[in-house]
Amino acid sequence: MTEESSGRLRRRAETILSRGNFEAADITATSMKELLHELYVHQAELEIQNEELRGAQQALEASRLQYLQLFQSVPLACLAVNAAGIVGEANSAAERQFGLPMLRLKGRPLTLLVDSLDHGRLFTALGRLRDGGEWVRQEFRYLGPQGTIIDGLTDARRVTLDDSDRGDVLLTITDLTERNAWLREVQQARDDAERARADYHHILQSVGDGILGVDADGRIRFVNAAATAMTGHLDLDLIGRPPSDLLAGPAPETETGLPGSEGDTAFGGTGQAGGAARALALSLTDGRPRRVACERLRREDGGTLLVEISISPMLASGKRLAPMEERIQGAVVAFRDVTARRTAEAALNLSERRHRVLVQSLHDALAMTAADGHNLLANAMAERLLDGPARALLDPTASAYDAADAQPVQTTAGRRFIDANGNRLHGLPPAAEAVRSGKPVVERIIGMVEGGEATAPTRWLRVSSHPVADQAGRVEAVVSSVADITAVKALERDLNVALDARERFLAAASHDLRQPVQALLLLSDLLLKESLPAGARRMAEQIQSSLGGLGGMLDGMLDISKLEAGLVAPNPEPVDIAALLARLHGEFSALAEKGGQSLRLVAPSLSTRTDPGLLERVLRNLLTNALRYAPGGRVLLGARRRGDRLQIEVWDNGIGIADQHIGRIFQDFFQVGNAARDRREGLGLGLSIARRLVTMLGGDIDVTSSLGRGSRFTVSLPLTEQRANGGEHPAVGGSAGGSLTGDGTDRLVMLVEDDAVIRMALVLMLEDWGYRVMEAGSGAEAEQLLDSLIDAGEPPDLILADYRLPEGTTGLMVMDMVRRRLSRDVPGVLLTGDTSADRLREAAGAQCALLHKPIQPARLQDALASALGG
């Protein structure tokens, strides 16, 4: 049967079968048999084909299972992703890596597994792979369990799944998170090491000590800035050279080097040439550090420095078990300039030797004792005292003089300690008291009486003890000085006996002489009333004058005795100083006029509380001396307020006092210029009495003088009261009376006057009017004064100047200088005794007021007010 007929039969059979009616089929029996046979054959073929297909399916399933087993066993995370970015397959490694079960991985969008920052880069790379098969192995950031970031090195290739979708891609992801973390740590460590190296480099460059880095062969490999500065060489000049090129050996005067580690000794000192170089060589051999106390370092300019050298070998840390010569990689040589320190130490040692010699040569005992009682330092005199009965005075641990519960200070029967008044001492000795109290005990007089008899000898000591505290304030030692003043006390005793004898003698002489002197005075007065020849009268007058001097001397001696005995006590009361000075001025003016002298008064309205009688006596003495030593001259009596003090001053332009006599004029019986002891010039007791009286009043008396130019005596008293404003003002000026008041409104006046007495009178007068005054005695002084005023920011408001000044300078020249310096027209008032027309023209040209001497105070006050625009 042909293929064509067989096909027809099959179609007919299919038709019959589809109709379900075999009887109606138009087919012969033969044809039916053939048809059935063909069907059986076809069925057999189908069975064979089905069997082959089942075998192929089983093989395919086995292959798929093998593939899946292989896919699941891959240690790397694998994801099969379709073109829509959906995960189709994932292996167990992917489950572990992403922390998701397989069911949640399959069908999950890839975007949920990749960090959003890498979305664009990953899908761009996948697009290039699908389009052109191009893929570059690269890292992407994936999202791991609990949001952790996974660094995944990703490989990708195109695959075809069951649905024959050629857009499928297989991703193989290698987890590099730990490796990258390790790499980052390694890089961080490298960065830290580099920063540390840079820091160490900067540190080494910034330290003040010179640093040399030496390799194992002993060659310089590193030089810091301090080393180049100390040696004078550039670092490139030193690299590769041995350090011995810079080392000149130890200084001849230095001591042997200090011990190094583990008993080694650094090389130095005399006789050890190249000590530091040898020490370096040994350190590079045995790996031990060393130090050289003092070595000479050569400089590039040929000079040398004294340096202290430290050598520290550098050992390899990873070769602890290796021999030492294999571990040594080099050494660090550090040197410090000790030239100044060594010089200072030498000077200190010399000073210490000198002080030791000085301390040992002291006549006084000097000892330093620790707080626990052991001796730290003592000179020869102190050592003798420490070995004797006076040791307790210098012992910080000694008990009280009269201690009953401890060993008493006195160690010998019959010995006792007394004070300067002879009373038995109680309490602690000086050194122990200084340690207990922490305060110094200064010049305590202690007598050591040997024996109980009244005539027992006494050794007198002057003891001072000063505590020495540590930084915490604890007393750790005490320094005591002891002077044997037994001889001084004997002299003091003899002096007291002599003074007592003198006092008794003076008292007896004063008492016994006053009666006959009084009688002689009366008889001489009666004798002078008789009619006597001229020669006899002169002799009687001389007798009366001598008796007057003798009486004055007796009165002065009595006054001194009363003052020293404390029999004179001040009786303070409110005193109107202006009234007191005005009364003295009125009294002494007549004496001044009789002697051809002038006495001026400047008395502001001040009052204080003092003894008026004692103060008046002091001022009378000063006025008497001023008139006596300024014959034909000028005397000024004035007062002023200085802070809380009242100053009463007596000026004169007399003979003055030489510098060598200034310190002696207040001594008893001392006189200047009276070597012949002329009683008419006084007894030399007035100023000594005045000093005692002023001290009793709570004040001070002082003198300044220039030989040939005059003197100024100043009595300074506490100012306790001041007259209220609006009170009556005393006279200011000469003997003529009158009162002036004025308000200078605190204006500053520059006064230039070469006559000291006139200048002082003007200062007092201007201050009483309310002006502030700065004074100068010459043109040069005026310029210096102006400099100080400009520096203080207080230029003068007015210039008051005398016309004729020293060194050819005039008051007009001073005014011109001030105006030029201040760049403004400062008002001026010129004083002169010259009445020529030239002076008038000069004053007019200088635009200043001109006043002719003598000047009344009222006129001067008006001129100042007018010049200031008042």
Q: Is the dihedral of CA 855, 858, 864, 869 positive or negative?
A: negative
Shared-domain flag, residues 577 and 553: no
**Cα dist from 438 to 366, 377, 396, 402, 468, whole Å:** 19, 20, 11, 22, 8
Cβ-count burial of 34 within 10 angstroms (0-12 exposed, 13-18 middle, 19+ buried)? middle
DSSP-derived secondary structure for 796-850: -SEEEEESB-GGG-BHHHHHHHHHHHHTS---EEEEES---HHHHHHHHHTT-EE
Quick check: is 80 in a domain?
Answer: yes
Quick check: is 44 in a domain?
Answer: no
Q: Is the dihedral of CA 27, 33, 36, 42 positive or negative?
A: negative
The total number of structural domains that make up the chain: 6
Rounded distance, CA 43 to CA 546, Å? 191
Q: Which portions of the chain are predicted below pLDDT 70?
A: 1-29, 31, 64, 161-167, 252-274, 318-320, 386, 402-415, 451-455, 502-504, 506-526, 529, 544-568, 668-684, 721-745, 757, 833-840, 853-856, 870
The CATH number of whichever domain residue 399 belongs to comes to 3.30.450.20
In residues, how long is the chain?
870
pLDDT confidence of residue 25 = 54
Last residue of a domain, one of 442, 460, 484: 484
Shared-domain flag, residues 318 and 403: no
Quick check: is 395 in a domain?
Answer: yes
The CATH number of whichever domain residue 858 belongs to comes to 3.40.50.2300
Kindly provide the residue ranges of all beta strands, DSSP E only, lying in 666-709, ordered along the sequence: 700-706
Shared-domain flag, residues 558 and 643: no
For residue 61, the Cα-to-chain-centroid distance in whole angstroms is 96
Cβ-count burial of 250 within 10 angstroms (0-12 exposed, 13-18 middle, 19+ buried)? buried
User: Around 387, how many Cα atoms within 13 Å sit in the side-chain half-sphere?
Assistant: 7
**Cα dist from 305 to 204, 241, 345, whole Å:** 20, 19, 16
For residue 528, the Cα-to-chain-centroid distance in whole angstroms is 82
Quick one: tokens of 646? Answer: 């009242």
Shared-domain flag, residues 160 and 283: no
pLDDT digits (tens, 9 = 90+) for 694-721: 888 888 989 888 888 888 999 999 887 5
pLDDT confidence of residue 526 = 61
Quick check: is 355 in a domain?
Answer: no
CA dihedral 833, 834, 837, 843 (to 10 degrees): -60
pLDDT confidence of residue 670 = 62
Rounded distance, CA 424 to CA 418, Å? 4
332: left (phi over 0), alpha (psi -120 to 50) or beta: beta
Under a CB-based contact definition with an 8 Å cutoff, are residues 219 and 241 in contact? Answer: yes
Last residue of a domain, one of 564, 594, 612: 564
Tell me the residue range of the domain where 507 lies.
Answer: 493-564
Quick check: is 354 in a domain?
Answer: no
Shared-domain flag, residues 756 and 797: yes
Shared-domain flag, residues 848 and 745: yes
Shared-domain flag, residues 311 and 371: no
Rounded distance, CA 410 to CA 588, Å? 68
Quick check: is 282 in a domain?
Answer: yes
Sheet order of strands, 634-642 included: 700-706, 710-718, 645-652, 634-642, 598-602, 732-733
- Helix residue ranges, H only, 216-261: 225-231, 235-238
Cβ-count burial of 614 within 10 angstroms (0-12 exposed, 13-18 middle, 19+ buried)? buried
Quick check: is 188 in a domain?
Answer: no
The 3-state DSSP composition of the chain as helix, strand, coil percent (nearest 5) reads: 45, 25, 30
SS3 419: coil
Shared-domain flag, residues 372 and 455: yes
pLDDT confidence of residue 744 = 62
Rounded distance, CA 558 to CA 540, Å? 27
Quick check: is 478 in a domain?
Answer: yes
Residue with tokens 């230029």: 795
Last residue of a domain, one of 438, 463, 484: 484
Cβ-count burial of 27 within 10 angstroms (0-12 exposed, 13-18 middle, 19+ buried)? middle
Shared-domain flag, residues 98 and 224: no
pLDDT confidence of residue 501 = 77
pLDDT confidence of residue 331 = 92
Shared-domain flag, residues 723 and 759: no
pLDDT digits (tens, 9 = 90+) for 164-203: 555 689 999 999 989 999 999 999 999 998 888 888 888 8
Rounded distance, CA 711 to CA 391, Å? 56
Shared-domain flag, residues 255 and 331: yes
pLDDT digits (tens, 9 = 90+) for 208-242: 889 999 998 989 999 999 889 989 998 888 999 99
pLDDT confidence of residue 142 = 93
Shared-domain flag, residues 539 and 575: no
pLDDT confidence of residue 628 = 86
